[in-house]
């Protein structure tokens, strides 16, 4: 993949205002429409939503970025963001995420 979307990403991120993320999110979503599977684009859209306080939306983009092959130092930041999001779950949310996997492993008898 060419570096073109990444050059545009860098331009968008350099112009962002953390107190008003709406223009940044709009610009990133336009770039995302052009490059829907680019891992770094997905990650940065997630980061913009995270900065705007929309953690649930951010988490989906972070997870999609990982699945799309995010790598290197950006992948490490993505792992940290997902872990931070999971750490913020309430007990009820955690149980809800774990319950579907509860009976998928081998049963261990005492």
CATH code (residue 50): 1.25.40.10
Determine the structural domain holding residue 40 and report its residue range. Answer: 4-101
Interior angle at CA 82, CA 26 and CA 77, nearest 5: 80
Structure tokens at 39: 């891992």
The answer to whether position 109 is within a domain reads no
Terminal Cα distance for the chain, rounded: 53
What share of the chain in percent tops pLDDT 90? 49
With left for phi above 0 and alpha for psi between -120 and 50, is residue 72 left, alpha or beta?
A: left
Render pLDDT for 30-56 as a digit per residue (tens, 0 to 9). Answer: 999 999 999 999 999 999 999 999 988
Q: pTM score > 0.75 for this model?
A: no
Q: Report d(CA 23, CA 13) in Å as an integer.
A: 11
> CB atoms < 10 A from the CB of 97, how many?
11
């Amino acid at each position: 993949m060419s570096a073109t979307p990444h050059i545009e990403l860098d331009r968008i991120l350099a112009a962002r205002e953390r107190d008003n993320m709406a223009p940044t999110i709009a610009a990133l979503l336009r770039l995302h429409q052009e490059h829907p599977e680019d891992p770094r684009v997905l990650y940065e859209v997630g980061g913009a939503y995270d900065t705007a306080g929309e953690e649930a939306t951010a988490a989906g983009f972070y997870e999609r970025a990982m699945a799309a092959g995010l790598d290197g130092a950006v992948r490490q930041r993505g792992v940290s963001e997902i872990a931070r999001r999971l750490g913020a779950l309430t007990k009820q949310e955690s149980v809800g995420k774990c319950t579907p996997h509860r009976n998928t492993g081998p049963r261990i008898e005492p």
